[in-house]
Copies of this chain bind each other. A is one copy, B any other.
Amino acid sequence: MAGNSIGQLFKVSTFGESHGHALGGVVDGVPAGLELNEADLQIDLDRRKPGQSRYTTQRREGDEIKILSGVFEGKTTGTSIGLLIENTDQRSKDYSKIADVFRPGHGDYTYWHKYGHRDYRGGGRSSARETAIRVAAGGIAKKYLRQIHGIEINACLSQLGPIKAELFNWSAVEQNPFFFPDESKLEALDEYMRDLKKSGDSIGAKVMVVAKNVPVGLGEPVFDRLDAELAHSLMSINAVKGVEIGDGFAVVEQKGSEHRDELTPDGFTSNHAGGVLAGISTGQDIVASIALKPTSSITIPGQSINTANESIEMITKGRHDPCVGIRAIPIAEAMMAITLMDHLLRQRGQNPDVNLPHGPIK
């Protein structure tokens, strides 16, 4: 129970279902004095919004964020911030037929068994629609981290099915509908997606998220290591099945002499560790990658059962993304920001000046 909050000093609590009245949440722990308005948060919501390209669902949500509290005369007051997004496009008629069936690969089966009573419209609470509020909450963290500490967080699609980015040109990312950093692959992506859509199938993806200018010292061993908490927050994103820090699973075949990042008076010579050693940030870029599964909402028929345990055949109609990874870009940034923000505040307990290496005791 009570799994709808994340963070300790920077705490985000959310509510809302795909086809309910609204999505919303409470963002607690924003220090006072940060300039903040709705436009700051709308930017990322617009990046996440469906209907942005022909490869994402054509459902049209305004996703207009409202700040209901915690900001006064344009600045945060240190009190909790209420966020709200009203659901304007609810077409719940699309979903009434699936009230008693379990779509394979979705939360229908597990929600029904856990709760016994569920909102079946569009996946209810298990829909990725809830991530809109994460993006808004993460937007607050991103702004604080950037403005007060110069920390920049950016994500991109590093792989879509068989197509991998080989060049990482960050300036390209926001210039294409795939958030892809390798412009030489855009045409291939376009073609791949066109074929995929025709086939009615979906595809997995890999997203990389990087934080720059993170001070050394964030992370609280032994359990609340920065990487462990990032794994938690990134794995909590819908459809994520794997999380890597730095070289991730490639380390399985690496030797110690290859992997260890050597140190010189000018800094580290490499960043296989992804910016985290022994659970604490090194001051290098924090690099994480996540694997997103292909959505199960496809038009290719599949076997399933209904609540009476009878065999049925499923075809998921409606408006769905053939690659949910694309829209996960701002979500991954938001979760990275939420975790870093929480750890920045927690580190101040140990050492109030997080931008200096050493602590308050002289």
Contacts and interface: CB of A to CB of B under 8 A. Distances in A.
B304 A255 contact: no
A346 B282 CA distance: 24
A293 interface: yes
Most B C-beta atoms less than 10 A away, residue of A72, A148, A246, A278? A278
A233 interface: yes
B205 A252 contact: yes
Contact of A68 (B6, B24, B300, B358): B24
A283 to B, nearest CB: 8
Contact of A116 (B118, B263, B349, B357): B357
A277 B109 contact: yes
B244 A278 contact: no
Interface in A1-32: 1-11, 13-17, 20-26, 28-29, 31-32
A15 B26 contact: yes
Contacts of A318: none
A4 B251 contact: no
A359 B111 CA distance: 12
Contact of A260 (B78, B105, B350): B105
A203 B66 CA distance: 39
Given A2-B8, A263-B109, A242 B245 contact: yes
A114 interface: yes
A56 B240 CA distance: 34
A62 interface: no
Contacts of A204: 251-255, 259
B68 A21 contact: yes
A94 interface: no
Interface string A50-91: 000000000000000010111011011111111010000000
A227 B264 CA distance: 38
A319 interface: no
A68 to B, nearest CB: 5
A98 B245 CA distance: 27
Given A79-B125, A346-B1, A249 B291 contact: yes
A165 to B, nearest CB: 12
A139 interface: no
Nearest to A304: B263
Contacts of A66: 21
Interface string A238-278: 10111111111111111111111111110001001110011
A124 B296 contact: no
Contacts of A76: 117
A56 to B, nearest CB: 15
Interface stretch (A39-47, A167-175, A177-185, A215-223): A215-223
Contacts of A233: 223, 228
B263 A305 contact: yes
A311 B248 contact: no
20 contacts: A1-B346, A2-B224, A4-B79, A14-B26, A15-B81, A23-B69, A25-B26, A29-B349, A72-B124, A79-B221, A105-B260, A110-B216, A161-B255, A222-B236, A228-B235, A230-B235, A248-B249, A256-B294, A272-B293, A352-B354
